[in-house]
Amino acid sequence: MKPDTIIWDFDGTILPSDPYDSEQTLLLYRITAAEEKIPIIRRVVAKAAIYADRKEWLKASFKKYYLWLLKGTPIEVLDRVAEKLAKKITLADRRIYWGLYDKGYSMIVLSCGTFDLIKRTLYLADLENCFTVIKGNHFETQNNLITGMAYHMLTPKDKLTLIKDRGMLSEATIVVGDGYTDLPLLDWAEIPVIMDRTGLKRKRFAQKRYHFISTAADIMEIV
């Protein structure tokens, strides 16, 4: 059966994390570019959380610090950060997503990250229409200020649960991810693909049956 659906992770996959992913970038913006003065304790905690998240030490508990640091942030800040993020997706990569869309592939974004930031970034990169489904965790707001988060995809297993609930078939699906939040879905898929921009993940996942690509263009050799 020819795969007709491609499931993409966002951070590190569609969006290069060099060196920060979308949520880490938002936190950095919050503590360095905010109009009001950020208390020193919040700046210290933010930098520590970013460092730990890059090392994959915090896993799902990162969201606790993330939300604490962002409560009270005007939602319009997401637009400014998304502008920066959209510029990281190269024109060459965008053409690949447009090309896959034109070929009739159904494409989905599943992320343990922040939906509001992902959606804005894809829109500003002129890619939103390439994806039939975009799933992540949603900010809750009041008076245009971030007050909380609705967790729809907090753990890696949540991605696989959603796909199974939708009745999708592994043999008809390509999954493209870059790290631990994608592992259950990658192990389920008939065609699991790791985005490895540096070459380091080939060693880390050498025992897995994954395909490895270093750019979005490489997916064309698989589809």
18 pLDDT band (50/70/90 cuts)? confident
DSSP 190: S
Whole-number average pLDDT of the chain: 94
Q: In the chain, pLDDT over 90 holds for what percent of residues?
A: 87
What's the pLDDT at 34? Answer: 59
Nearest to 117 by CA among 75, 69, 73, 156: 75
Do both 96 and 179 map to the same domain?
Answer: yes
Domain range for residue 76?
A: 22-83
Give the tens place of pLDDT for each residue, 60-77: 999 999 999 999 999 999
Do both 163 and 202 map to the same domain?
Answer: yes
Do both 99 and 174 map to the same domain?
Answer: yes
Structure tokens at 223: 């589809």
Give the helix/strand (H/E) hosting 41.
Answer: helix 40-54
Has residue 10 got a pLDDT over 60? yes
Give the tens place of pLDDT for each residue, 135-181: 999 999 999 999 999 999 999 999 999 999 999 999 999 999 998 99
Structure tokens at 44: 């210290």
Distance between first and last Cα of the chain: 12
36 pLDDT band (50/70/90 cuts)? low
Q: Is the entire prediction scored with pTM above 0.85?
A: yes
Do both 64 and 125 map to the same domain?
Answer: no
What's the pLDDT at 1? Answer: 52
Do both 43 and 105 map to the same domain?
Answer: no
Nearest to 108 by CA among 180, 189, 1, 218: 189
Distances in whole angstroms, Cα of residue 110 to Cα of each of 38, 61, 84, 147, 185: 32, 19, 21, 23, 10
For the chain, what is the domain count?
A: 2
127 pLDDT band (50/70/90 cuts)? very high
What's the pLDDT at 223? Answer: 87
Has residue 214 got a pLDDT over 80? yes
Q: Return the higher-pLDDT residue of 204 and 6.
A: 6
CATH number, domain with residue 102: 3.40.50.1000
Q: In the chain, pLDDT over 70 holds for what percent of residues?
A: 97
Task: Determine how β-strand 133-142 pairs with β-strand 145-150.
Answer: antiparallel
What's the pLDDT at 130? Answer: 97
